[in-house]
Amino acid sequence: MMTQTLYSRTIETPRRDAVYQSVAERLKHYDEFRIPFNTEEITEQARRCMTCGIPFCHNAGCPLGNPIPETNTLIAENRLRDACYLLHAYDNFPELTGRLCPALCEAACVHGINNEAVTIRQLELEITELGWNNGWIVPQPPTTKTNQRVAVIGSGPAGLASAQQLARAGHHVFVYVKSDSVVGILRFGFHDFNLV
């Protein structure tokens, strides 16, 4: 059966990287200085993805095993909310990996062999920020509680991701923190401007 193509792949489209405010502008504030892509730019970049038969971005690149071709396809079809949901199915904090990850997926991207890699990390960030701005990201409370109590030691990304998954599984979770501030390496290992 023929499958309907909802969009055209545009591998000739140049890669677009994150765009930032000028230094003069950034000196005036401590807020985020990334200039978001508009929806057209997001879908256009996703359409550069060839949804490879062997997607090295996913198989060899991403330590989380993010379903990158599938996510890119949803974005290319302008199903941005679905893409946001899929990102969160594999990654507890795509708003963080979208900013901080070294993007091994892009180093592994087949498009990068003869061209420029798909801008995978930036798409992850843009979709997640759209999710927050549009109320697509909501709590996922468990349908039943187990009455089991679980202690998580440390509130860094691993601790919080564990706590989130355990809470979704219905356990009562307690996160213990040694420092005065929560979020571990996110507080003590990165400058604020990396995360705003």
Which residues are near ligand SF4 by CB under 6 A?
49-52, 55-57, 68-69, 72, 109-111, 118, 120
- Residues with Cβ within 8 Å of 30's Cβ and at least 6 positions away in sequence, in order, are 192, 193, 196
Q: CA distances (Å), 64 to each of 12, 59, 133, 146, in order?
A: 29, 10, 25, 27
In the complex with ligand SF4, the residue whose CB is nearer, 69 or 154, is 69
In the complex with ligand SF4, the residue whose CB is nearer, 33 or 37, is 37
Q: How far is the CB of 68 from ligand SF4 (least distance, A)?
A: 5
Q: How far is the CB of 59 from ligand SF4 (least distance, A)?
A: 9
Enclosing H/E stretch for 80 = helix 80-90
Backbone angle region of 65, left / alpha / beta, with phi > 0 → left and psi within -120 to 50 → alpha: left
Q: How far is the CB of 119 from ligand SF4 (least distance, A)?
A: 9
Q: How far is the CB of 142 from ligand SF4 (least distance, A)?
A: 33
In the complex with ligand SF4, the residue whose CB is nearer, 88 or 111, is 111
Enclosing H/E stretch for 176 = strand 172-176
In the complex with ligand SF4, the residue whose CB is nearer, 109 or 137, is 109
